[in-house]
Structure 1
Amino acid sequence: MEHNPTYQGIALDAETALALLEWQVEMGADEPVLDAATDRFELPASTRPDPAPPLQMTAPPAAPPVRRDDGPDLDAMVAQAGALAASAQTLEALAEAQQAYDGIELKKGARNFCFADGNPKARVLILGEAPGDEEDRQGRPFVGRAGQLLDRMFDAIGLSRDAVDAEQALYIVNVLSWRPPGNRDPSPEEIALSMPFVRRHIELAAPDVVVLMGNIPCQAALGRRGILRLRGTWTEAFGRPALPMTHPAYLLRNPPAKREAWADLLSLSARLKG
């Protein structure tokens, strides 16, 4: 007995049924189904998974302590730098001690050690930030474009790093004696490790006045930044009168600020004369 398939109650011959099947395949059908839809979410009880237990709002177990190896202790390294600096009784001995100190990683990538420049007997000590590329080449602070402008600025009030007379001389030191890569700002750790040598440097040189040239010296000596607010206002640093001034590199980028720098130079000149 021949059995013909049906479609929506209509009997179909084999050729028509095959044509319909091919049409459905072309339309994207890829799975045969029954006349009635199957609820696949309603599984038989025997195959239904056990319900998940209710969530318990309990505190997670305490994590075990994590041990971290952060390298040498910063306080211990600062103390070591302080002991080395304190042991130096002359500027020459301080330079040797600082150059031999291995706690500052910058030393490994710098070409030269920039200790100081000018007359160590000068009444005015300029504290700068860190060596740049040209300073790194020559081993002297403030010898690039900013240094050339600095020389012209202080020459205008009768002060020079080349002067023999302490009354007209300048002595120039940086917070860092090695160049940071890419002229980036020194890190707080680098400043902390350098400051024992800077403090001892200023003690041995014993200037009458310290000029804090830029943000980094203000951060190191005063614990504050914001040179445009600090500049021109006398304060105290290292137990001495101190005058914050804008860095010559800033003046090269912002020539109108030279007017305020000139006012600061006049204030310094008056302080030295008074």
Structure 2
Amino acid sequence: MRLDKDYLLELELWSHFEMRGLGHDHAPAQSHEARASSTAPPAQPPALMSNERGRVAAVARANAPARPAVVQKGVKVAPSATRAPGVPVAPGSPGISGTAADPARLAAISGADWLQLAELTANCTSCRLCKQRKQTVLGVGANTAHWLFVGDGPGDEEDQAGEPFVGPTGKLLDALLSAAGLARGREVYIANVVKCRPPGDRTPLPEEAAACAPILDRQIDLIRPKIIVALGKTAIMRLIGVDTAMAALRGKVYRYRDVPVIVTYHPAYLLRNLPEKLKAWEDLQLAKSTLAQVL
């Protein structure tokens, strides 16, 4: 019977899938009695305050950096990744280019600490998404996390909660994290390319992603992740600038600002295409092996 670490993690992942009614396709052959232990449920984030000013302050406090608030110019976000044995490394790309934004706004964002970035995001009117949002969704997690997961944009539940990846997609993402020994709020930071909900939960437009690009870049500056996982097409376009089939992109290590990037499916896609969940597991294992060579 297999009892290696990766297999136990795999069993844990499928246990989470089954408990949440997310399907049984491609489950490991051995009995679940082989599971050595179950992981604790992911830590729940603090409740957000209803007042917009209070909400911004709460988000900023949750992300308040332990190191100096403003990253000094010239500090690199992370060392370059070392290629994993047998894993091809794809060249980086600037991704979606920035818009002709207000220079004062760009300067404010580039020098912002977490509190200032939360306030700038909450007051942003750089694209039309600001007109219908309930609130902005900056991100959630550890402000010095090694792992950064980037999705596309908030949905209806995220717009109401002020936190990325809640509801069914959040449960699936949490299951993936837990199976890998991770949890939001600890070793992980979770964000989206755009910070406001697109109407009808559609895919963000390129100009909307470009308007939010300076905010995501500043988050990367402040967090200094050691690895980024791009969840779905919008995040892939933003981070590596490639618009092609996922099958052609998986299994490679890309880079964004010297940080290794692994691409995988968005949890919303996995909920509609459960047989693909094993591929997401494989992508996460590639991310883990890549991170191990960076640390």
TM-score range relative to shorter protein: 0.5 to 0.7
Q: 1:81 & 1:176 partners in 2: Cα distance?
A: 16
Does structure 2 conserve the Cα–Cα contact (< 8 Å) formed by 1:110 and 1:178? yes
Return the offset for 1:239: 2.3
Does structure 2 conserve the Cα–Cα contact (< 8 Å) formed by 1:228 and 1:246? no
Is 2:200 aligned against 1:182?
A: yes
* Alignment RMSD (CA, Å): 1.6
Q: 2:179 & 2:99 partners in 1: Cα distance?
A: 43
Q: How many residues align?
A: 195
**For 1:153-173, what per-residue CA distance to the aligned partner results, in whole angstroms no more than 9, with x for missing partners?**
11101010033xxxxx11001
Structure 1 residues 220 and 258: CA distance shift in structure 2, 3 A: same
Q: Counterpart in 1 of 2:144?
A: 121
Return the offset for 1:187: 1.2
Structure 1 residues 134 and 228: CA distance shift in structure 2, 3 A: farther
Alignment of 1:35-184 (within 5 A): 75-77=99-101, 79-88=103-112, 90-163=113-186, 169-184=187-202
Is 2:286 aligned against 1:267?
A: yes
**For 1:35-64, what per-residue CA distance to the aligned partner results, in whole angstroms no more than 9, with x for missing partners?**
xxxxxxxxxxxxxxxxxxxxxxxxxxxxxx
Q: 1:129 & 1:81 partners in 2: Cα distance?
A: 22
Q: Counterpart in 1 of 2:210?
A: 192
- Residue from 223, 229, 237 that aligns with 2:241: 223
Structure 1: state its 5+ residue gaps: 1-73, 164-168
Helix, strand or coil for the counterpart of 1:76? coil
Q: 1:251 & 1:80 partners in 2: Cα distance?
A: 40
What is the letter of the counterpart of residue 239 of structure 2? A
TM-score between the two structures when normalised by the length of structure 1: 0.67
Does structure 2 conserve the Cα–Cα contact (< 8 Å) formed by 1:85 and 1:97? yes
Does structure 1 conserve the Cα–Cα contact (< 8 Å) formed by 2:152 and 2:193? yes
Structure 1 residues 191 and 232: CA distance shift in structure 2, 3 A: same
- Residue from 249, 264, 267 that aligns with 1:245: 264
Does structure 1 conserve the Cα–Cα contact (< 8 Å) formed by 2:122 and 2:135? no
Considering Cα pairs closer than 8 Å and 6+ residues apart, tell me whether 1 or 2 has the greater RCO: 2
Does structure 2 conserve the Cα–Cα contact (< 8 Å) formed by 1:117 and 1:171? yes
- Residue from 236, 244, 250 that aligns with 2:255: 236
Does structure 2 conserve the Cα–Cα contact (< 8 Å) formed by 1:150 and 1:248? yes
Q: 2:105 & 2:253 partners in 1: Cα distance?
A: 29
Taking only the aligned residue pairs, the percentage that are identical comes to 37
Structure 1 residues 92 and 211: CA distance shift in structure 2, 3 A: same
Structure 2: state its 5+ residue gaps: 1-97
* Larger-Rg structure: 1
Q: 1:101 & 1:136 partners in 2: Cα distance?
A: 15
Does structure 2 conserve the Cα–Cα contact (< 8 Å) formed by 1:212 and 1:218? yes
